[in-house]
Structure 1
């Protein structure tokens, strides 16, 4: 090496001699050149370890991470909150079912109909017809100003024994279902009896027989009134002989009368019912659909309410009960049992957006229908009379900020329910209160370079650890062999 430097002074020559020297003087460790069973096993373990750790790192890179914070509610969706619902009441007639909202600011809206749909259902919650159109029952109805006693009793008293016979005997039977304790029934009674006597004189039941006016005392004929789904007093039903339903115990398709209750209006209405019927044939003709005072009566005693209402973002109440401005209700006979198919707050999240949100937060939407499928029932009886079912809802707003969608809003809530004895008409009440705080969930993005760095660290780390372990095993085996041969060190 010195000669090479002296003669040529070349760096290439120096490098060559240094390589020759290292090759001749240094030896490759035997543990790297000798094959062994432990080394093979360790290599396999190291390979699987790298694959496993690489998979874990890849899964961590592809998974979505979020950060959660609690902030003051910004209410970026306005000052009103939408409540969507679908609730079935097996024992509340669509005829009187009313949706009311109120809040602590004094807002009080009664019998909301514009955004609500009603469907008559049976006790099994199955619909029995198309959408029920009940109209408004809140207007003031006209009654006779003076009571004229000279007309006496003009209508026929009906009971469970003669009702089916009479209802099949006359082409038109108009029945007043009343309760003696009811204020509105007592106000109707004079004009009803007077109108019944006038109609009897003009259309004699024996000679003419086209129409008859009757009455049913629901305090004495409870089963008969329940069979005809009477829940408010007085209820005036118009039965037509030509529309029998033979497969439903002989019940008739019938209408409810919601018009004024003075004698003149009642007589005019009865005459309009008789006019299309020929005296000779007594056949039913088509009714006049333009008369809004007569609308189809509910075929069953249950009702499904679906739709939405808008309320202010302050503590308030959503109340569903029987309501009418011209009827009375027997609170002991009202049953507000119900099944909640859907109840949610806020705007509906499109299905496509919701599926993307599930990747960010698998649990999102879990409380969107927290009361979905829940049933709350009471049974008729003295111990369950005048029972109001109340639900207390605590609502929290959640905002999710993602890379694909800037902000997605959802309202989650907790619910607690109870049965309350009340002197008022039983109802289903939903008390809601919004939290002044909101939850902000932000999706965190991960760097690709961080992923590559971790992969390199995994490969190098596994090689290093495997080398250390292999060296320890190799030296340990050599030491054991020397001890067995009795060599002294």
Structure 2
């Protein structure tokens, strides 16, 4: 037998003679229908192959020496900006007193007038303007306190803010600045009285060490007294006629790390994880009210590192990995190559109490006692989870899987179509025999 004919016995696709074939109208309809069905199912298979899904993974977070950004937007309708202070501290011993670079203080109209915006001021750490209309060589007195190291003129207190800073360095209460020449010249007490009924909104971002720490909003200048962090509360408690300061507040937005885009959030949520920006930032739109001056709000936040890696992402050594974080603009920290994002999720529990102490009988728990004392304000204590969530983009199936699916569609559809055509042909043949007999 010739070599060519050896494969004849192996032919699984036997052919029929053209004369033995019978073509019918029903067969043509079934053929066209099956082809349309094959095209529709193959298009669905292609769309499924092109669809991106997100595979979540959990690993131990081995990052070291990293920073973390906190972006916030919080309103205090009953505390003026002049009295509100933002401080940041962590277990490494780093303390950032006063508002930081990247944070704005927005003066708000009184609640009765709708809390509209009066003025927005960007505050820089250690920023200050030289006093005007002063004689050349003027050196203001610090009234027994050492001049602050960041004074405009070394060894002098030429502004009211520098006198306040000097007082804070030795843990002295400052009050309204009576009999302080610099403050009287700048009309500090008059400006304070003008703002008594105003509110304040703090918005912007701060960069902190990625360790256990806290940031808080409290009234008055802050300073350290031994191992204690203290605020000058005199002006806050003094108030004014018809004015009662309280820490009623609304958290418009609070997140740790860069914001995920809406399409990323939607894509991750397709796996039934119920993701939304509120899911990532559960404190958004939190509203707390109190009529008591000596009142404290505490939020205990558990932060979980979360990475989003786009399709085809592959970590490569980059010169940008060694750039000092100070050079990276606020808001860009955590955005990597190929649109990868290093951000954070968090969970939160909250607690509130009156600083005057007492029990929780109003809440139905007489056996629960509140400690007496403390600083009025809003405190956010954050802890870092040792685990990290990685959301990695991938195709829903491989290209070989796509080809297998298409073959299954073609084969399965033609097999079912052949069975339907055979049944229609046999049925019509029997009907013809019955009618002819």
Instruction: Answer yes or no: same fold by TM over 0.5.
Output: yes
- Give the CA deviation at 1:425: 3.4
Q: 2:256 aligns with which of 342, 345, 366?
A: 345
1:399 partnered with 2:307? yes
Tell me how far apart the structure 2 counterparts of residues 94 and 367 of structure 1 sit (CA, whole Å). Answer: 28
Give the unaligned 5+ runs of structure 1: 1-10, 12-21, 144-187, 189-231, 236-257, 274-290
State the 1:48 CA deviation: 3.4
Q: Distance in 1 between matches of 2:41 and 2:388?
A: 38
For residues 442-453 of structure 1, what are the structure 2 equivalents within 5 Å?
442-445=392-395, 447-448=398-399, 450-453=401-404
Q: How big is the shift at 1:69? A: 1.4
CA contact (8 A) 1:90 1:338 kept: yes
Q: What residue is the counterpart of 1:475 in the other structure? A: 426
Q: Does 1:306 align with 2:203?
A: yes
1:391-430 equivalences under 5 Å are: 391-402=299-310, 403=312, 405=338, 407-423=340-356, 424-430=374-380
Larger Rg: 1
Aligned partner (choices 288, 296, 308) of residue 388 of structure 1: 296
User: Is the counterpart of residue 28 in structure 1 residue 55 in structure 2?
Assistant: no
SS of equivalent residue, structure 1 residue 102 = strand
Q: Does structure 2 retain, via aligned residues, the 8 Å contact 1:343–1:369?
A: no
Query: Per the alignment, in what secondary structure is the counterpart of residue 437 of structure 1?
Result: strand
Q: Partner of 2:409: helix, strand, or coil?
A: helix
Q: Using the alignment, how far apart are the partners of 1:53 and 1:318 within structure 2?
A: 56
Q: Does 1:59 align with 2:47?
A: yes
Q: Once superposed, what is the RMSD of the aligned Cα atoms?
A: 4.3
> Number of residues paired by the alignment?
320
- Are 1:117 and 1:307, in contact at CA under 8 Å, matched by a contact in 2? yes
- Do structure 1's residue 376 and structure 2's residue 287 form an aligned pair? yes
CA spacing shift, 1:318–1:368, aligned 2, 3 Å: farther
The answer to whether the 8 A contact 1:120-1:301 is kept is yes
Deviation per residue, 1:312-357 (Å, 9 max, x gap) = 32332221111236551439944112222321212467xxxx4774
1:88-237 matched pairs, under 5 angstroms = 88-122=75-109, 123=111, 124-131=114-121, 142=143, 234-235=175-176
Question: Which residue is equivalent to 2:71?
Answer: 84
- Partners of 1:388 and 1:483 in 2: CA distance: 94
CA distance in 1, matches of 2:393, 2:428: 53
Q: Write the distance in 2 (CA, Å) between the matches of 1:40 and 1:460.
A: 18
What TM-score, normalized by structure 2, do the two folds share? 0.60
Cα 1:461–1:326, aligned 2, differ >3 Å: closer, same or farther? closer
| Pick aligned residue for 1:317 from 189, 214, 222 | 214
Q: Cα offset for 1:367?
A: 4.6
**Residues 444 and 98 (structure 1), Cα distance of their counterparts in 2 relative to 1, 3 Å cut:** same
Compared with structure 1, are the counterparts of its residues 114 and 64 closer, same or farther at alpha carbon in structure 2 (3 Å cutoff)? closer
Structure 2 counterpart SS, 1:464:
helix
Q: Identify unmatched segments of 5+ residues in structure 2.
A: 5-14, 127-140, 145-171, 222-230, 314-337, 357-373
Partners in 2 of 1:450 and 1:318 — Cα distance? 51
- Give the deviation of 1:89 after TM superposition: 0.7
C-alpha deviation, 1:59, in angstroms: 0.9
Residue 73 (structure 1) aligned to one of 44, 47, 61: 61
Residues 94, 132 of structure 1: 8 Å contact kept: no
Secondary structure of 1:319's aligned partner: strand
